[in-house]
């Protein structure tokens, strides 16, 4: 065998898995782009989620809470910038209060930190530009440098001997008597390598990589639905300021709603929105990050509900990301799919599919979870 472990994808998830598995054997990370973190991981809100929203007991809930604690610890050790900034989830009107109560109960069940209800007066004192009936305060929610996290994970993996091959797209997977042959396209030529275990952490393309391994992704319920999220920044000359993250109660379909995020430099962004893209066959899918400036009216209306001093001219389009969702429009939210595939006759293959939010927060815990799946099989 050329490698004990081969990982497809050098986003936050693949790198966290590499940092973990390189403690146990030889690791190769294959990345189709010319560097790490060029996919979903570089287009997020960079929020370390506390773990409030997700179904109790789900992977999303458990790995989010565990991952956030790990990020905090690494942040405290100075591995990358991290701030425990805190967040308000707000009921704009009294009739949204019941949703807050439900979130509070769910967050407490998930172990999402010391959540507490806050009154209108307390909200007003903390965030003078905010208008809301009441809210939940989550002190454990943080913001962090996602690129710093990925550099740290790569360095940790490389110090333990892991190798990274960029501009190396996996285009074929064949089961061997023990392990897998992986076909890799590099500079127009095809190389083949043999690996004992294979981990699919290919983000938006994880369904395509699962299909290369012979899985019927439609029958297995693993086809990804791409969902665009756009951001508008609030220009620094705006009257509206915020010192913490501010989210409305979630809207239809579990979407968190147009919310206020802050980056480490204090820049306010609104978003991300949520819009399903037209499903396309694998070969016709393209990541299109062009911004739709017509969304300005939608952002303005959504944010003005709780930031009444906001003006439309305060907003500028600033970024776009795409979510890899396992549920299509109108379908119930799905959990992360992270499985060792012996049950499908593919031992030593781990698929990580549908790693949408809070995938960045959960990444360190996903790394450990994948290692457990491979060693406990």
Binding positions for ligand FAD, rule: CB under 6 A: 8-14, 30-33, 38-41, 43-47, 49, 169-170, 201-205, 209, 229, 272, 321-323, 355-361
Closer of 177 and 265 to ligand FAD (Cβ): 265
Closer of 134 and 145 to ligand FAD (Cβ): 145
Closer of 171 and 296 to ligand FAD (Cβ): 171
At 334 the three-state DSSP class reads: coil
Sign, CA dihedral 355-360-361-363, equals: positive
Closer of 132 and 370 to ligand FAD (Cβ): 370
- CA-based nearest residue to 197, from 178, 216, 212, 213: 178
Closer of 30 and 65 to ligand FAD (Cβ): 30
CB 49 within 8 Å of CB 357: yes
Report the alpha-carbon distance of residue 238 to residue 243 in Å, rounded: 14
Rounded to the nearest 10 degrees, what angle do helices 146-159 and 12-21 cross at? Answer: 30
Q: How far is the CB of 287 from ligand FAD (least distance, A)?
A: 9
Q: How far is the CB of 22 from ligand FAD (least distance, A)?
A: 16
Report the alpha-carbon distance of residue 201 to residue 371 in Å, rounded: 13
- CA-based nearest residue to 297, from 270, 260, 320: 270
DSSP, residue by residue, 179-217: SEEEEEEETTEEEEEEEEEEEE--GGGHHHHHHHTT--T
Q: How far is the CB of 169 from ligand FAD (least distance, A)?
A: 4
Beta pairing class for 168-175 and 180-186 = antiparallel
Q: How far is the CB of 344 from ligand FAD (least distance, A)?
A: 19
Q: How far is the CB of 341 from ligand FAD (least distance, A)?
A: 17
Burial of 316 (0-12, 13-18, 19+ CB in 10 A): middle
Closer of 137 and 205 to ligand FAD (Cβ): 205
Q: How far is the CB of 124 from ligand FAD (least distance, A)?
A: 26
Residues 6 or more apart whose CB falls under 8 angstroms from that of 9 comprise 29, 30, 31, 39, 200, 201, 202, 203, 205, 206
Q: How far is the CB of 40 from ligand FAD (least distance, A)?
A: 4
Closer of 117 and 183 to ligand FAD (Cβ): 183
- CA-based nearest residue to 185, from 197, 196, 173: 173
Closer of 66 and 356 to ligand FAD (Cβ): 356
- CA-based nearest residue to 15, from 369, 364, 373: 364
Q: How far is the CB of 366 from ligand FAD (least distance, A)?
A: 8
């Amino acid at each position: 065998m050329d490698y004990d472990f081969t990982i497809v994808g050098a986003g936050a998830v693949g790198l966290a898995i590499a940092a973990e598995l390189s403690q146990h054997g030889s690791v190769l990370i294959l990345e189709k782009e010319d560097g790490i973190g060029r996919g979903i991981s570089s287009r997020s809100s960079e929020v370390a989620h506390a773990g409030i929203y997700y179904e109790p007991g789900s992977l999303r809930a458990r790995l989010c809470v565990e991952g956030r604690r790990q990020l905090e610890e690494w942040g405290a050790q100075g591995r990358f910038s991290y701030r425990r900034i805190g967040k308000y989830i707000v009921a704009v009107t009294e009739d949204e209060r019941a949703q807050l109560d439900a979130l509070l109960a769910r967050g407490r069940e998930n172990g999402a930190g010391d959540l507490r209800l806050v009154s209108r007066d307390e909200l007003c004192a903390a965030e003078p530009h905010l208008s809301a009936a009441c809210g939940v305060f989550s002190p454990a929610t943080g913001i962090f440098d996602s690129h710093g996290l990925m550099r740290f994970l790569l360095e940790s993996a490389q110090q333990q001997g892991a190798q990274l091959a960029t501009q190396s797209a996996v285009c074929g997977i064949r089961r061997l008597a023990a392990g897998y042959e992986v076909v890799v396209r590099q500079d127009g030529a095809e190389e083949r390598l043999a690996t004992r275990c294979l981990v699919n952490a290919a983000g938006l393309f994880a369904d395509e990589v699962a299909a290369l391994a012979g899985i019927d992704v439609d029958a297995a319920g693993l086809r990804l639905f791409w969902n665009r999220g756009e951001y508008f920044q609030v220009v620094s000359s705006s009257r509206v300021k915020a010192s913490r993250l501010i989210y409305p109660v979630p809207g239809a379909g579990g979407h968190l709603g147009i919310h206020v995020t802050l980056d480490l430099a204090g820049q306010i962004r609104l978003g991300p929105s949520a819009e399903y893209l037209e499903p396309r066959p694998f070969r016709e899918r393209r990541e299109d990050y062009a911004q739709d400036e017509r969304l300005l009216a939608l952002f303005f209306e959504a944010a003005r509900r709780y930031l009444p001093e906001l003006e439309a001219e305060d907003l500028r389009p600033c970024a776009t990301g795409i979510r890899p969702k396992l549920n299509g429009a109108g379908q119930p939210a799905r959990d992360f799919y992270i499985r060792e595939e012996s049950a499908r006759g593919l031992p030593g293959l781990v698929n990580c599919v549908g790693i949408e939010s809070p995938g960045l927060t959960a990444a360190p815990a996903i790394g450990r979870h994948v290692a457990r799946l491979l060693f406990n099989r």
